[in-house]
Amino acid sequence: MREISTQVVVIGGGATGVGILRDLSMRGIPALLLEQGDLAHGTSSRFHGLLHSGGRYAVKDDKAAQECIEENTILKTIAAHCIEDTYGWFVFLKGDDPNYLELWLQGCDQVGIPVREVPLEEGFRLEPLLTRQATRIFEVPDATVDGFKLLWSNVKSAEKYGGTYQTYCKVQSLWLENGRVIGVYAEELITGETLRVRSEIVVNAAGPWSAEIAAMAGFNVDVLKDKGSLLVFNQRLFNRVINRLRVPGDGDIFVPHQTVTVFGTTSHTVELPDDHQVDEQDITYLIELGQNLLEGIEQQRIVRSFAGIRPLYESVEDQDQEGRGVSRNFVIIDHQKMDGVQGLVSILGGKLTTYRLMAEKVSDWVAAKLGVDTACRTAEEPLLNEQPAEVWDKARQLIGVAAANKMMERLNEQAGAVVEAIARQPLLGQFVCECEMVTQAEVIHALQDPAVNSLDDLRRQTRLGMGTCQGAYCSYRATPMIQEAFGGWERTVKEYRLLLAERWRGITPVLWGEQLRESELARALFLNVLDLKAEESEG
């Protein structure tokens, strides 16, 4: 058993956890984050990718709306490299409730969400696929956010201030002594070794798993696990976030991301924190709803589907309501007050847009407990520094403008090394992933990071396998690099299988049209061209 000590243990490498790690580190408080999978293993990679302006909550939940618009403004400055400032539209359709429209405009006004009405002709010109049932369009500062990149920059920034994190390390139990939590026991999943961490405070930021963590100390916290499903289309159907202007409900938001569009969502309460199965009924239901904003939706190609679990806080008063009615605000539970045990705090609820604020509040609490009075600086200090123009120019010259822009966005401060590698050996500029334009040099670079332990980690790091081929071509093209990094043919085959299995889970619910053809080709490639062994079917 390995044993280490630190001042604060943060459980969970989602947006909330990494935000806390960065905040504590910037205040000079030594902290260690433990994550059972890779970063963003949970909800933070299974969400819609919308940086809310607050418009969605303007009528129902003015507190949430206000937090959103404030954080939206802050993140666009401190995390500009993770955000595409697309803006968003709220589209009012023929027959929708005009009273809601009035309330919405008032709500936005009250919490300070800037709204501009877009003339219809301009709207149809800018978004040609938008339904002609639209009668009014309002623009708000919605944007899209790359969750993985955001998380990554937070831990990188935290590291600069001395923060540490360990992935594939699962907390198994809390270390309790005399009515105090004095640390955690965790298992390092890759080696199987047990790790004991002594700390003064343990922060439970385990998202949908928070109840499981609290239960380790025998406590009950009310997290409602609310599953939402999303569909991924193969292209940018819209260039802005498109919301339907009505009482928030299912299937009313389209979010463009890089080369694809994500559409959703649904809402069902589930039992398990990792119930990521997408039901086929939900898909047909979503497609039907999608018709309202995008009439030709049936002709569009869906590449995959996925689901995430919202960790909603279920306060006592709200308990009898269904998922969407619960406030999206967050709470901090001091288990000393609640259950009489010191040293443990849980943060529950919230959304990705407000991760920084949540982290600030928890860190304030932790700092007060530890008697540290350094103020929070995460709202002012950017996550990254701007890259020098020479690196940009060189990258564009070597691999072309489109690919360079994407790479610089993904790599930012680390782009310099990759650009140099391509300059030295131009063939390293070949693409491993043609959809997302990921070069060999970038893959080699990503594989050097000790946190990248599988082809699937590589996917999250580089977006390889996220495009229309869903990993069929790019996992083949990554062969020499993964073989070099992980060693051995058997391991390589295992990595192919794991990545394709992960992708397959998202594809099977939408297995028709072009994606079905693509999948049939992928099967031919792996089972025939590469001659991998078939698996016995379960049925």
Partner 1 sequence: MWDAVVVGGGLAGWIAGIRAAQRGKKVLLVTEGVGTLFYFSGIFDYGDIEGLRHLPKHPYTLFNSEDIAQGQHFVQEICPEYIINETPQSAFTVLGTVRQGDLMPRSMILPDRQEQGRFVLLVPEGLKDFFPEVVMTNMAREFPGWQVSAKRMRVDALAEWVKLGKSVSSIDYSAIWRSEEGQRVLAHEIEEIKRQYQVGNKPQEKIIVVLPSLVKEYVDFSRTKPCIEEFSLPVLEMSSFVPSPHGRYFAEYLKHRFTDLGGELMIGARAVSLNQESPSENKARTCQEVIVNSKGKSLCLKGKKFILATGGLLGGGIKVGMARKSIHEGVFDLPLFVPKEWSEPQFFASQPFAQIGVETDELMRPLDPERGEVVWDNVHVVGRMLAHWDPWTQRCGGGVSVTSGYAAAELV
Ligand X SMILES: Cc1cc2nc3c(=O)[nH]c(=O)nc-3n(C[C@H](O)[C@H](O)[C@H](O)COP(=O)(O)OP(=O)(O)OC[C@H]3O[C@@H](n4cnc5c(N)ncnc54)[C@H](O)[C@@H]3O)c2cc1C
Residue of the chain from 7, 479, 491, 494 that contacts partner 1 (CB under 8 A)? 479
- Give yes or no for residue 353 binding ligand X (CB under 6 A): yes
- Give yes or no for residue 424 binding partner 1 (CB under 8 A): no
The option from partner 1, ligand X, none interacting with 97 (CB < 5 to 8 A, set by class) reads: none
Residues 372-401 that bind partner 1 (CB under 8 A): 398-399
CA distance 316 to 92: 35
Is 143 within 8 Å of 48 (Cβ atoms)?
Answer: no
Residue of the chain from 6, 8, 9, 12 that contacts ligand X (CB under 6 A)? 12
Residue of the chain from 163, 311, 465, 471 that contacts ligand X (CB under 6 A)? 311
- Give yes or no for residue 11 binding ligand X (CB under 6 A): yes
Residue of the chain from 429, 465, 467, 506 that contacts partner 1 (CB under 8 A)? 429
Closer by beta carbon to partner 1, 17 or else 429: 429
Residue of the chain from 321, 430, 448, 449 that contacts partner 1 (CB under 8 A)? 430
The option from ligand X, partner 1, none interacting with 517 (CB < 5 to 8 A, set by class) reads: partner 1
Closer by beta carbon to ligand X, 399 or else 469: 469
Ordered alpha helix ranges (H), 382-488: 389-399, 401-411, 415-424, 440-448, 455-462, 472-477, 479-486
- Choices 38-46, 190-198, 446-454, 489-497 (CB under 8 A): range interacting with partner 1: 489-497
Is 246 within 8 Å of 100 (Cβ atoms)?
Answer: yes
- Distance in Å, CB of 428 to partner 1, minimum: 8
> Which residues on neighbouring strands pair with residue 203, listed in sequence order?
10, 345
Q: Which two tokens stand for residue 69?
A: 């618009």
Tell which residue, 40, 66, 45, has the closest CA to residue 55.
66
Binding mask 223-242 for ligand X (x = CB under 6 A): -----x-x------------
Residue of the chain from 99, 178, 528, 537 that contacts ligand X (CB under 6 A)? 528
Quick check: bond before 131 cis, omega within 30?
no
Is 173 within 8 Å of 185 (Cβ atoms)?
Answer: yes
Q: Within 13 Å and on the Cβ side, how many CA atoms surround 478?
A: 34
- Choices 187-195, 366-374, 461-469, 516-524 (CB under 8 A): range interacting with partner 1: 516-524
- Choices 47-55, 107-115, 433-441, 475-483 (CB under 6 A): range interacting with ligand X: 47-55
Size of the chain in residues: 539
Tell which residue, 310, 354, 314, 315, has the closest CA to residue 54.
354
CA distance 234 to 243: 19
The option from partner 1, ligand X, none interacting with 402 (CB < 5 to 8 A, set by class) reads: none
Token pair 């020098």 is at which residue? 388
Sequence letter at residue 323: G
CA distance 153 to 230: 25
- Give yes or no for residue 291 binding partner 1 (CB under 8 A): no
Residue of the chain from 260, 287, 374, 449 that contacts partner 1 (CB under 8 A)? 287
Pairing mode, if any, of strands 143-145 and 50-51?
A: antiparallel
Tell which residue, 472, 464, 457, 467, has the closest CA to residue 442.
464
- Choices 17-25, 92-100, 326-334, 424-432 (CB under 8 A): range interacting with partner 1: 424-432
Closer by beta carbon to partner 1, 364 or else 434: 434
- Choices 24-32, 104-112, 348-356, 443-451 (CB under 6 A): range interacting with ligand X: 348-356
The option from ligand X, partner 1, none interacting with 209 (CB < 5 to 8 A, set by class) reads: ligand X
Token pair 């990921």 is at which residue? 438
The option from ligand X, partner 1, none interacting with 415 (CB < 5 to 8 A, set by class) reads: none
- Residue 483 neighbours by CB distance under 10 Å: 14
Tell which residue, 133, 151, 129, 124, has the closest CA to residue 46.
151
- Choices 29-37, 232-240, 331-339, 374-382 (CB under 6 A): range interacting with ligand X: 29-37
Is 343 within 8 Å of 182 (Cβ atoms)?
Answer: yes
Residue 170 CA: distances (Å) to CA of 19, 167, 190, 209: 19, 8, 10, 12
Residue of the chain from 6, 36, 131, 261 that contacts ligand X (CB under 6 A)? 36
Burial class (CB in 10 A: 0-12, 13-18, 19+), 251: buried
Q: Which two tokens stand for residue 501?
A: 């299995």
Residue of the chain from 87, 185, 476, 486 that contacts partner 1 (CB under 8 A)? 476
- Give yes or no for residue 113 binding ligand X (CB under 6 A): no
The option from partner 1, ligand X, none interacting with 14 (CB < 5 to 8 A, set by class) reads: ligand X
Closer by beta carbon to partner 1, 167 or else 261: 261
Helix (H) or strand (E) holding 304: strand 302-313
Burial class (CB in 10 A: 0-12, 13-18, 19+), 189: middle
Closer by beta carbon to partner 1, 52 or else 304: 304
The option from ligand X, partner 1, none interacting with 361 (CB < 5 to 8 A, set by class) reads: none
Is 299 within 8 Å of 235 (Cβ atoms)?
Answer: no
- Distance in Å, CB of 261 to partner 1, minimum: 15
Residue of the chain from 283, 332, 338, 384 that contacts partner 1 (CB under 8 A)? 283
Token pair 């990149």 is at which residue? 149
Residue of the chain from 22, 27, 48, 240 that contacts ligand X (CB under 6 A)? 48
CA distance 400 to 106: 47
Q: Which two tokens stand for residue 121?
A: 């002709």
- Distance in Å, CB of 396 to ligand X, minimum: 31
Residues that bind partner 1 (CB under 8 A): 283-284, 287, 298-299, 302, 398-399, 422, 426-430, 476-477, 479-480, 483-484, 489, 492, 497, 500-501, 503-505, 508, 511-513, 516-517, 520-539
